[in-house]
Amino acid sequence: MLVIENDIDTLEMVGAIFEDCGFTVVLSQTEMPVEQIAEVNPDVLIVDYLLSGYLGSNICLDVKTNCKTNHIQVLLFSASHDLGEIAKNCHADGYLEKPFDLNQIVDLVTEMAL
């Protein structure tokens, strides 16, 4: 699993949750080019929509339109309005509005990882 989130507290919390669930987790506070994501080759990518100076939806679209990474399940999360429409436009496999319930994110990601 790869988590891209610029807020260190949220990043570490999400990482700890999924490590406790048995996932191998890679964390990044900054955007990653699709080539680097392909090297990590996660089953699931969790990406915040609003990163510092970059949009997670652009990362999602890059992943979903690249033949080396389009198999990766992408979960977009954010406190932004219209997140469902944003997720649809970037071909995300799912989305989750912040603040989120911990059980909700675990259930959603576990389902995506199957």
Question: What is the distance, to the nearest Å, from the Cα of residue 44 to the centroid of all Cα atoms in its chain?
Answer: 7
Q: What is the pLDDT of residue 60?
A: 98
pLDDT attached to residue 52? 87
> How would DSSP label each residue in 71-110?
TSEEEEEES-TTHHHHHHHTT-SEEEESS--HHHHHHHHH
CA distance 26 to 15: 8
Using DSSP, state whether 58 is helix, strand or coil.
helix
- Residue 81 pLDDT: 87
Structure confidence at residue 42 (pLDDT): 97
- Assign a CATH topology to domain 2-102: Rossmann fold (3.40.50)
Is the pTM for the entire model greater than 0.75?
yes
Residue 18 in tokens: 């999924």
Residues 6+ apart with CB under 8 A from 95: 75, 76, 77, 78, 83, 84, 86, 87
Would you state the pLDDT for residue 113?
A: 87
Positions in the chain whose pLDDT score sits under 70: none
Q: Which tokens sit at 79?
A: 């406190």
